[in-house]
Amino acid sequence: MKGKAAFDREIGNEAFVGKPEITVTRVVEEADVVVAEGSVRTHRREGEELNLRFCDVFVMRAGKIEHLTSYLMEVK
C-alpha cells in the first residue's frame, strides 16, 4: 500500500472489531532506520482471537516514514 490514507484503511479493517492491543517489546535505531518488534492481539468479527508477532522496519527521511517493511506471523 502507499500513503497514509491506505495505511489508515488497513488499520481500520472491517474484518476485525474493536481496537487491537499492540505491545512493542524492542526498538533498535541506527542512522535513518528504526526496527520495532512486538505483538498484536485482536478479535475477528466472527469472535475468534488473533495473535500476531511483528517486526517493522522503518526507513526515515526528514522525520517522516519514507518506507515501511512489515513482517507478521500468526501465533497459535
- Provide mean pLDDT across the span 68-73: 95
CA distance 54 to 22: 10
Task: Report the number of secondary-structure helices (H) and strands (E) in the chain.
Answer: 1, 4
Confirm if 40 and 18 have CB atoms less than 8 A apart: no
pLDDT tens, position by position, 4-33:
788 777 766 788 888 889 999 999 999 999
Looking at the domain 4-74, which fold is it?
Nuclear Transport Factor 2; Chain: A, (3.10.450)
The pTM is what? 0.79
CA distance 50 to 2: 25
CA distance 74 to 54: 9
